C-alpha cells in the first residue's frame, strides 16, 4: 500500500475514544481517592480536635491539683479537691517518680508498658487502661486505639434511625448519641512534688461527627461527579463516532458490504494468524465480464444494484473464517479455506466450489446473461518448523496475492473457460511485461526497433510486387525479440501508437530514399493498430507524417486488423474514407481469423484483403475451407478488392491460389521477413 494512504488509514483506524476512556478512568480513580482521603483526613482532624479538648481538660485538672499541692496540701486532699470542683470528674492516678502508685481514684490503672507519644500541639504520653476493652484490632499496635475506620463509623452511625415522636429533641438526642468510646490514660505534666499525674480520658465520637464527615464527603463527591458525568458522556459520544468512522471506512459505497480496505486488513490478519497458518487458502478474483456493456445497456444504477446483489449472494455463500470484499468495478476478492490433504485436493476443492458459484452467479438475473471469470492464487500452508509449536505465515501481502489472482483471471479469454489458477509461468510473463514496459522507450530512442520486410509475390509469374513492414526488436541483451512478445503489451499500454508512427516514418523515409536513388519501388504495407482509431484526426496525422519525407501516398499501404472494425464502426469507416481520399491504399489484415464478417467488406471501402494464414493450415487442406477461400476471393474481385494470401508455405497452396486469381502471396514459401538491405537486393534481382 502507498505510504501516504497507509498513514491516513492508520490515523482513521486509531481508536480516538481510548484517550477519553483513559481520562475517564483516571478521573474516576483520582476523584474517589481524593474523596476518601479527604474523608479520612477530616475524620482525623475531628478526632484530633477532640483529643486536644481532652488534653486541655486534663491540664485544667492537673493545674488544679498542682495548686492544691503547692498550697501545702497532700495528694489525697488534692484528689478530693479536684473531685469536688470538677464538672466532669474522671479517674486520676498518681505515682511516685519510679511509677509506684501513690494515690488514685476509680478501679483501673494506666498500663505503663503500653504507652505511646501523641502529638497534640505539644507531645503528650498516652497509656492504655487496664480494664477497658479495646477490641481485637487495637491489640497489635497501641496507637491504633485512635484509628477509626470511616466505613465502620458510618455503619455505626446509621445502625438505628431516630425513633419516636419527639421531633427536634428526639433528633438532636439521636445526633448527640455517642457511637464510639475509647478510654485511655493521659500523663499530665504538672509539678506535684516529684509525683506524676495521670488522668483517665474518654474519647467519644458522636453520631453527628460521623454525619458531618459523611455530608462533607458527599458534597465533595457530587462536585467531582459533575465533570465525571461530562467525561462519561463525551466518551460514549466518542465511541459512537468511532463506530461510525469504522463503518464508513470499511463499507463499500457501491455494494454496501465490505470494501477493499476491510478485506485487506481482515485477510492479512486471518492468513497470518497462528491458527490459520497451517491451512490452505485460495485468493480468488471474481470478475464479471463486459460490465461496461452492462452499464451502457441498463444504466449505472442497475449496474450498482447488480453489484449489491452479488455482494449479498457472496455473503450467503462464504463460510466461517473466510472473507470477501469488493475490489473495483465488477471485481470481488474472496478468500476460501480449502479442504484437502494435499495441494491437488485443495485445488480441486476450490475449483469445484468456484464452478458451482459461477454457475449460480450466471443465473443471478434470469432475464439477462451474465458472464463471470475467476482467477485463483493458492496460498499454501506454512511448513512446520522442527521444535516450534506455533508458526505464522510471515509477510502476508494481500495486494500481491490479489494481483496474482487477477493475473490468472486475465489469462482467460473465452467464455467457456472460467476458472484459472495462477502459475509461475504467469509470474514470468508478468515480469517480462514489466521488463518490456521499463525498456520500450529507451529501445525506441536507441533505434533497437528495426524494420524487417516480407515480400509479396504474384502467384502466377512470381514477381515481387509489394512487401509488409514487420517490426523486430533487436535488443543488445536479449537478442532478436519477435513482435508477438511485445506488440500485445504495447497495445495494452498504448505504446503501440508510438511504434506504429515510428514504422510509418521509417517506411516513408525508405520509399523517399529509394525514389531519390532511382531504385525500383513497390508498395509497402504498414500495420496500424486498432488502438490508433481512437485518436482524433488520424488521417491527417498519418498524412503529415508521411509527407515529412515526401513519397507517393500510393506506396504506403495501411493494414488495419479486422478486430478494429468492431470497436467503433462509424469512426473506422470515416477514417478509412479519409485515408483513401489522401491516396493511401487500405488493406484489411487477418481476414478470416477470429470473428470474420463478410459484411464488413460491403461497408468499408477497401483496396486489399489479406486472407489470414490460418486459412491454409490444419487438416482440411483443400476441402470445405477451399470453398470459402474461392468464394471470398471471388467476392473480393467482384468488389474490386485485391487479395493477398498470408502465411503461404507450400507450393500446392501457391498453385491453388494462382488458379483462383489471388493477386499476391506473402509467405515463407517465397520469403521470410528480412532486413532492409536484403530486401533491397531482392528487389534489384527481381527487376
Ligand atoms: P501480421 O500483421 O499478421 O503479420 C504477419 C505475420 O505472419 C508475421 O509475423 C510474419 O512473419 C508471419 N508470417 C508470414 N509468412 C508466414 C508463413 O509462411 N508462415 C508462418 N508461420 N508465419 C508467416 P510477425 O512478424 O511475427 O508479426 C506478428 C504480428 O505482429 C503481425 O501479424 C502484426 O500483427 C504484429 N506486428 C508486427 N510488426 C508490427 C508493427 O510494426 N505494428 C503493429 N501494429 N503490429 C505489428
Ligand atoms: Ca499485417
Ligand atoms: Ca496478418
* Alpha-carbon span 386 to 305, nearest angstrom: 52
SS3 assignment for 421-449: ECCHHHHHHHHHHHHHHHHHHHHHHCCCE
Q: What is the pTM of this model?
A: 0.60
The pLDDT, as a whole number, for residue 150 is 78
Q: Which of 470, 613, 644 to mutate to test the pocket of ligand 1 (most atoms within 8 A of CB)?
A: 470
Interaxial angle between packed helices 424-445 and 398-410, expressed in degrees from 0 to 180 and rounded to the nearest 10 = 80
Q: Pick the residue whose CA is nearest to atom 21 on ligand 1.
A: 647
- Tell which atom from ligand 1 comes closest to the C-alpha of 648: 18
The pLDDT, as a whole number, for residue 443 is 97
Interaxial angle between packed helices 207-250 and 18-70, expressed in degrees from 0 to 180 and rounded to the nearest 10 = 170
The pair phi, psi for residue 369, each rounded to 5°, is -95, 120
**Is there an atom of ligand 1 within 6 Å of 529 CB?**
yes
Q: What is the pLDDT of residues 66-104, one digit of tens each?
A: 888 888 888 888 888 887 877 667 899 999 988 899 888
From the list 152, 204, 646, 652, the catalytic residue is 646
The pLDDT, as a whole number, for residue 621 is 54
**Is there an atom of ligand 1 within 6 Å of 647 CB?**
yes
Q: Which residue shows C-alpha cell 484489411?
A: 588
Please list the ranges in the chain whose pLDDT falls under 50: none
Q: Residue 669: helix, strand or coil by DSSP? A: coil
Active site residue 385: no
DSSP 475-536: ETTTEEE-GGGTHHHHHHHSTHHHHHHHHHHHHHHHHHHHHHTT-----EEEEE-GGGGGST
The pLDDT, as a whole number, for residue 160 is 76
The pLDDT, as a whole number, for residue 521 is 95
The pair phi, psi for residue 92, each rounded to 5°, is -125, 145
Q: 497 CA distance to ligand 1 centroid (A)?
A: 17
Q: Which ligand is nearest to the CA of 528?
A: 1
- Is residue 549 within 8 Å of 505, Cβ to Cβ? yes
Q: 589 CA distance to ligand 3 centroid (A)?
A: 5
The pLDDT, as a whole number, for residue 99 is 87
Q: 526 CA distance to ligand 2 centroid (A)?
A: 7
Question: Using alpha carbons only, what angle is made at residue 436 by residues 435 and 439, rounded to the nearest 5 degrees?
Answer: 85
The pLDDT, as a whole number, for residue 243 is 87
* Alpha-carbon span 381 to 395, nearest angstrom: 14
Q: Tell me, what DSSP letter sits at residue 667?
A: S
Q: Which residue shows C-alpha cell 448519641?
A: 177
The pLDDT, as a whole number, for residue 415 is 61
Q: Pick the residue whose CA is nearest to atom 42 on ligand 1.
A: 527
Q: Which ligand is nearest to the CA of 470?
A: 1
The pLDDT, as a whole number, for residue 385 is 67
**DSSP strand E in 516-630: where?**
524-528, 556-561, 586-591, 608-611
Nearby residues for ligand 2 (ion, Cβ within 5 Å): 527, 559, 589
Task: Look at residues 203, 188, 211 and name the one whose alpha carbon lies nearest to residue 138.
Answer: 203
The pLDDT, as a whole number, for residue 627 is 87
Burial, 10: exposed, middle or buried (Cβ in 10 Å; 0-12, 13-18, 19+)? exposed
Q: What is the pLDDT of residues 10-45, one digit of tens each?
A: 776 666 677 778 888 888 898 888 888 888 888 888
The pLDDT, as a whole number, for residue 140 is 60
CATH numbers and ranges of domains, the chain = 20-221 (no CATH), 260-422 (3.30.70.270), 432-686 (3.20.20.450)
* Alpha-carbon span 362 to 371, nearest angstrom: 6
Q: Pick the residue whose CA is nearest to atom 11 on ligand 1.
A: 673
* Alpha-carbon span 246 to 258, nearest angstrom: 11
**Is there an atom of ligand 1 within 6 Å of 470 CB?**
yes
Amino acid at each position: 500500500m502507498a505510504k501516504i494512504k497507509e498513514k491516513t488509514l492508520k490515523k482513521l483506524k486509531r481508536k480516538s475514544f481510548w484517550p477519553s476512556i483513559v481520562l475517564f478512568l483516571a478521573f474516576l480513580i483520582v476523584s474517589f481517592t481524593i474523596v476518601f482521603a479527604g474523608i479520612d483526613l477530616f475524620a482525623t482532624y475531628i478526632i484530633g480536635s477532640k483529643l486536644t479538648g481532652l488534653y486541655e481538660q486534663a491540664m485544667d485538672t492537673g493545674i488544679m491539683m498542682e495548686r492544691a499541692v503547692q498550697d501545702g496540701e497532700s495528694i489525697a486532699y488534692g484528689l478530693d479537691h479536684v473531685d469536688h470542683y470538677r464538672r466532669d470528674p474522671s479517674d486520676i492516678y498518681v505515682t511516685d517518680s519510679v511509677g509506684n502508685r501513690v494515690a488514685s481514684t476509680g478501679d483501673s490503672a494506666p498500663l505503663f508498658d503500653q504507652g505511646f507519644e501523641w502529638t497534640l500541639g505539644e507531645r503528650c504520653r498516652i497509656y492504655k487502661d487496664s480494664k477497658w476493652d479495646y477490641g481485637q484490632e487495637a491489640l497489635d499496635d497501641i496507637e491504633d486505639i485512635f484509628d477509626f475506620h470511616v466505613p465502620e463509623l458510618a455503619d455505626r452511625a446509621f445502625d438505628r434511625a431516630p425513633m419516636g415522636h419527639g421531633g427536634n429533641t428526639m433528633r438532636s438526642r439521636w445526633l448527640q448519641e455517642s457511637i464510639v468510646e475509647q478510654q485511655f490514660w493521659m500523663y499530665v505534666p504538672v509539678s506535684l512534688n516529684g509525683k506524676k499525674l495521670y488522668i483517665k480520658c474518654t474519647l467519644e465520637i458522636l453520631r453527628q461527627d460521623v454525619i458531618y464527615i459523611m455530608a462533607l464527603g458527599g458534597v465533595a463527591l457530587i462536585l467531582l461527579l459533575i465533570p465525571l458525568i461530562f467525561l462519561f458522556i463525551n466518551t460514549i459520544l466518542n465511541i459512537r463516532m468511532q463506530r461510525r468512522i469504522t463503518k464508513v471506512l470499511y463499507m463499500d459505497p457501491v455494494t454496501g458490504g465490505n470494501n477493499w480496505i476491510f478485506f485487506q486488513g481482515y485477510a492479512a490478519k486471518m492468513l497470518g494468524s497462528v491458527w490459520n497458518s497451517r491451512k490452505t487458502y485460495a485468493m480468488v478474483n471474481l470478475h464479471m465480464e463486459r460490465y461496461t456493456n452492462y452499464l451502457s445497456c441498463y444504466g449505472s444504477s442497475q449496474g450498482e444494484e447488480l453489484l449489491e446483489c452479488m455482494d449479498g449472494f457472496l455473503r450467503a455463500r462464504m463460510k466461517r473464517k473466510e472473507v470477501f470484499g469488493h475490489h473495483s468495478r465488477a471485481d470481488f476478492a474472496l478468500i476460501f479455506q480449502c479442504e484437502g490433504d494435499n495441494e491437488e485436493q485443495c485445488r480441486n476443492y476450490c475449483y469445484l466450489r468456484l464452478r458451482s458459484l459461477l454457475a449460480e452467479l450466471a443465473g443471478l438475473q434470469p432475464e439477462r446473461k451474465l458472464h463471470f471469470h475467476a482467477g485463483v492464487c493458492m496460498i499454501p500452508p506454512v511448513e512446520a518448523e522442527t521444535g516450534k509449536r506455533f508458526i505464522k505465515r510471515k509477510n502476508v501481502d494481500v495486494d500481491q496475492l490479489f494481483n496474482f489472482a487477477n493475473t490468472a483471471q486475465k489469462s482467460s479469454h473465452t467464455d467457456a473457460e472460467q476458472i484459472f489458477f495462477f502459475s509461475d509461468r504467469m509470474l514470468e510473463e508478468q515480469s517480462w511485461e514489466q521488463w518490456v514496459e521499463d525498456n520500450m522507450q529507451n529501445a525506441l530512442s536507441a533505434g533497437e526497433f528495426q524494420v524487417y520486410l516480407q515480400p509479396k509475390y504474384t502467384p502466377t509469374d512470381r514477381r515481387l510486387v509489394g512487401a509488409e513492414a514487420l517490426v523486430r526488436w533487436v535488443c543488445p541483451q536479449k537478442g532478436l525479440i519477435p513482435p508477438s512478445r511485445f506488440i500485445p503489451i504495447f497495445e495494452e499500454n498504448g505504446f503501440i501508437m508510438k511504434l506504429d508512427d515510428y514504422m510509418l516514418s521509417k517506411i516513408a523515409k525508405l520509399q523517399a530514399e529509394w525514389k531519390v536513388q532511382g531504385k525500383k519501388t513497390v508498395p509497402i504495407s504498414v500495420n496500424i493498430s486498432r488502438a490508433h482509431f481512437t485518436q482524433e484526426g488520424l488521417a491527417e496525422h498519418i498524412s503529415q507524417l508521411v509527407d515529412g519525407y515526401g513519397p507517393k501516398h500510393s506506396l504506403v499501404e495501411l493494414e488495419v486488423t479486422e478486430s478494429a472494425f468492431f470497436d467503433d464502426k462509424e469512426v473506422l469507416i470515416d477514417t478509412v474514407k479519409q485515408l483513401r481520399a489522401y491516396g493511401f491504399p487500405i488493406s484489411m489484415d487477418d481476414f478470416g481469423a477470429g470473428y470474420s464478417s463478410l459484411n464488413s467488406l460491403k461497408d468499408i471501402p477497401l483496396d486489399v484483403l489479406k486472407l489470414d494464414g490460418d486459412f491454409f493450415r490444419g487438416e482440411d487442406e483443400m476441402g470445405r475451407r477451399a470453398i470459402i477461400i474461392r468464394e471470398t476471393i471471388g467476392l473480393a474481385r467482384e468488389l474490386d478488392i485485391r487479395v493477398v494470401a498470408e502465411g503461404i508455405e507450400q507450393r500446392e497452396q501457391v498453385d491453388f491460389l494462382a488458379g483462383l486469381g489471388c493477386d499476391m502471396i506473402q509467405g515463407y514459401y517465397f520469403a521470410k521477413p528480412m532486413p532492409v538491405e536484403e530486401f533491397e537486393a531482392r528487389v534489384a534481382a527481381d527487376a
